[in-house]
Copies of this chain bind each other. A is one copy, B any other.
């Protein structure tokens, strides 16, 4: 039995470890999981040495960040499941509010490297499956309520969401291509004028895109 870092570490070391994790999480989100270790260390306010003592290599760090994110998603999802009575509302809320969800999805989708790391980690997979299970529940529930179009699955939503954040990666090129088509289809439906949710903010015009 390996000693648990949560309890074994000296107080300051524990603090540093948390800071590193937090810094890595936000750096990964902004710049992808290949940011120089030194930048992560700097952002965490520690030296590279400290970073390396805590996480022997980049893979370990990526894994730790992913675990942390996934855990939070699961917590979010369960809280939402407990609080909302409508599955559609739950789904909507999860997609809209869960920063953790965005971060996890992003991390997993951004780089091939990260994907491989996470794919082969049984703990991560277990968490992932638990999350998908909850999501599946939301999806089926929302469809039973007649709120969610019946022709989508949890995978659609995961992909749509993931794609929205970054690029697509799927089992086969065929699935990826189909997924892309479906995403576009959904967006188009989202765009077409039918009574829907009001969008926040104001319309973004082409002027807003001007690079300056």
Binding site for B on A (CB under 8 A): 88, 92, 95-96, 115, 119, 132, 135-136, 143, 146-161, 163-167, 170-171, 175, 178-179, 181-201, 203-212
Contacts and interface: CB of A to CB of B under 8 A. Distances in A.
B193 A149 contact: yes
Contacts of A166: 166-167
B199 A151 contact: yes
A193 B157 CA distance: 14
A contact face: mostly helix, strand, loop, or mixed: helix
A185 B204 contact: no
A205 B187 CA distance: 18
Given A158-B209, A171-B211, A201-B178, A188 B95 contact: yes
Nearest to A148: B193
A175 B164 CA distance: 16
Copies in the complex: 2
A184 to B, nearest CB: 6
A204 B136 CA distance: 12
Contacts of A189: 189-191, 194, 196-197
Contacts of A92: 188
Contacts of A153: 203-206, 208
Contacts of A210: 171
A154 B135 CA distance: 33
Nearest to A110: B167
Given A148-B191, A155-B205, A179-B204, A199 B170 contact: no
